[in-house]
Amino acid sequence: MRQPGRKRVANPLYRKSRLSSDAIIILALLKKQPQDKDELLKNIKISRAVFYRTIGLLEDFKILRKTEDGYALCGYSDSEKDVINAINLWEEVAFRYPTPAEIANETGLSLENAEALARKTHGTTGWFVPNQAMIENAGEGLGEVLVCAARIRDLGLAQMNEDFDYDNEPEIVTAANVFLQKRPDLVPRLANDDVRETVWSPEALKYLGGKHQPKERGRPFVAFRFG
């Protein structure tokens, strides 16, 4: 029997007949993410006005975010897409496919998951595990491109062509100009004497696989005599 003078406090959790709009959206994304606006509205039972107001609040509180493919919770990661992006990046920058360990480092996945997902993307990316010879050859090629980029940056294209011989490898000069535009952070600071060494950034060393010793490409000095 209830004691006199005391009121029963009802638990609001037991009285509530439906979820709030923010909980409805979160629950829908827990079932499938990402979802674009139209798909999400179709899967939940709230008005557009309430949807937009609630989505804005959830974004402000960093509970969800808008991705290229729609809305997703902030902790969401599309691991397969991350792997594809990592493979494409290495192929573009390093002139080769990354190893499973390099993919794992880029994506934060375990080595086993990184390799499994990379193999799954073969139809899209063409990925395979590069052998040591491929890694070394790609590192040599990238090093020559980055050194050429440094010479263009420091001397200008015309002077660089006068001082260094790239006549039989014009593709190196073309690629060097691309790196100067898109990835100048990878271009080294060159030594101009026998004391200092070429300085590579940690990011460049990652793609090179170690320091690169530039090839000898200096054109012979020709002295002209008059009279």
pLDDT at residue 7, as a whole number: 54
Q: Domain-by-domain residue ranges, the chain?
A: 18-73, 79-125, 132-208
3-class DSSP state for residue 12?
helix
**Between 223 and 121, where is the model more confident?**
121
Confidence of residue 18 (pLDDT cuts 50, 70, 90): confident
Give 184-222 pLDDT, tens digit per residue.
999 999 876 544 678 999 999 999 998 888 889 999 875
**Between 220 and 101, where is the model more confident?**
101
Say whether domain 18-73 belongs to CATH 1.10.101: no
pLDDT at residue 67, as a whole number: 83
Confidence of residue 117 (pLDDT cuts 50, 70, 90): very high
In the predicted structure, residue 21 carries a pLDDT above the cut 70: yes
Give 160-189 pLDDT, tens digit per residue.
999 999 999 999 999 999 999 999 999 999
In the predicted structure, residue 44 carries a pLDDT above the cut 60: yes
Record the pTM: 0.69
Mean residue pLDDT of the chain comes to 88
pLDDT at residue 194, as a whole number: 47
pLDDT at residue 3, as a whole number: 57
pLDDT at residue 193, as a whole number: 55
Helix ranges, the chain (H): 12-15, 21-31, 37-43, 48-60, 79-94, 100-107, 111-120, 122-125, 132-155, 157-163, 170-182, 202-208
Q: What is the DSSP letter of 72?
A: E
